[in-house]
Amino acid sequence: MSSTISINPATGEKISEYQRIELTEALTKVQLAKNTYDSWKGKPFSERSRLMHSLADVLETHKEEYAQLATNEMGKMIGQARKEIEKCIWVCRYYADKAEALLANKPVETEAAKSYVTFQPLGVVLAVMPWNFPFYQVIRFAAPALMAGNTGILKHASNVQGCACALENAFKEAGFPEGAFANLNLDSKHIKDIIEDKNIVAVTLTGSDPAGRSVASIAGQNLKKTVMELGGSDAYIILEDADLEMATDLALLGRLQNNGQTCIAAKRFVVVDQIYDAFLDRYTEKMRVAKMGDPQDESSYYGPMARADLRDELHEQVLKSVEQGGRLIMGGVIPDRPGAYYPATILADIKPGMEAFDNEMFGPVASVIRAKDERHAIALANNSQYGLGSGVVTSNKERGEQVALQLEAGSSFVNKLVASDPRMPFGGIKNSGYGRELSGYGIQEFVNTKSIWID
């Protein structure tokens, strides 16, 4: 029997080893999830809400333990890991309190004696989740799915199986019935078998666009609903009237938060010509000061990438971008130290056709792009295969709103980095995927939107 090994990316040392399960055992877990669904779907919202609040309590009780686990397994800064658990708690309580209203019957005026739309659960939902937010990504799917009356099966990234096991245990500790939520530590080659199982009714995936294409293709062939939250190369437009300190502060956090490994992080900075040089100078100063170090050290600004192979792939992208004409301002050299560290890196004069413009740079690398004016900046921002998040920095909020409305993305923020919020829908367009998570739009993705007509 094979196993998955957790490696501490800050040291390169082995943390733990987790035995994979065989396909037959995985399918047994899926069958249990279906059996549990048959009773869970009839539970009143009050009972589901009680258990979801209980899950929030469990997460709060174990916050430090879970934060340490995320930091050890994928290198997240310890302070950011604690905030991740806090956000999980927020999402759990949001849906515990709001799900009943979000899924309330909606009357429709027709010639019928009574007509309305009702929202009913579908069944067992499979979630294929990434390592970069090992707790939050899972809760973001599970809280609305279970509050809607579905049950959930998790196929988590192999390098964060400690987090996956902790989540499964958290649902048990909260009092959810066995089978309401289960983790499958299964070889990825078996994902197709799980999706094709008759008990799986829908799939949600957060990850790369190649992974999304593969999973969506299998689900599509089996006529199963999917939600895809895929890669991003978010553009942030810096207009000439922007507060330079605010713009560079946002750019610093945008590229170094979660060690640069966030789908909705600012990755391409499209700066109008009038302030391009000033922005680049100030941004470079701030990036040089940011401390790279141990993620357990509260004084570190950013830490290692999640795995050495991912660090090496990012470095190849940097080298390719320089070969294509990009200007390396700082960074771009793998440090001679243990762990999967990569320095804060700035690539300037990036243009369409270059690696750092066309593809996602999933790590602490910033691409700075020169635009002639606002119109040109919008065109450059939209010249992307991705459309997850976007932003604009300007001292004129009305101008910012008009620019935001023209950006081709699932989210556009003015004077703030894009962030997910349970009150707002989250998702992308183009190669960044389809469907929405969070808010009422998210909880309605995995329900039967059913018309009732009584003559």
For residues 436 and 427, what is the distance between their CA atoms, to the nearest angstrom?
5
**Do 362 and 386 form a contact (C-beta atoms < 8 A)?**
no
**Do 102 and 117 form a contact (C-beta atoms < 8 A)?**
no
Q: Is 13 a catalytic residue?
A: no
Q: Torsions phi, psi of 163, nearest 5?
A: -65, -40
For residues 212 and 386, what is the distance between their CA atoms, to the nearest angstrom?
13
Name the pairing type of β-strands 447-454 and 124-128. unpaired
Nearest Cα neighbor of 238 from 284, 211, 270, 194 is 270
For residues 155 and 164, what is the distance between their CA atoms, to the nearest angstrom?
9
For residues 408 and 401, what is the distance between their CA atoms, to the nearest angstrom?
13
**CB atoms < 10 A from the CB of 192, how many?**
16
Q: Is 73 a catalytic residue?
A: no
For residues 61 and 63, what is the distance between their CA atoms, to the nearest angstrom?
6
Beta strands in 162-307 (DSSP E): 181-183, 200-206, 225-229, 234-238, 266-272
Nearest Cα neighbor of 19 from 192, 193, 161 is 161
Burial class (CB in 10 A: 0-12, 13-18, 19+), 73: buried
Question: Among the residues of 41-77, which ranges form H helices?
Answer: 45-61, 63-74
Catalytic residue, candidates 73, 84, 168, 229: 229
In whole angstroms, what separates CA 307 from the centre of its chain? 18
Burial class (CB in 10 A: 0-12, 13-18, 19+), 232: buried
Nearest Cα neighbor of 303 from 5, 8, 50 is 8
Q: Any residues with CB less than 8 A from the CB of 314 and at least 6 apart, and which?
A: 305, 342, 361, 362, 363, 365
CB crowding 273-305: b at 16 or more within 10 Å, else e: eebbeebbebbbebbeebebbbbeeeebbbbbb
Sole residue written with tokens 């295969």: 385
Catalytic residue, candidates 88, 263, 360, 374: 263
Residues annotated as part of the active site? 229, 263
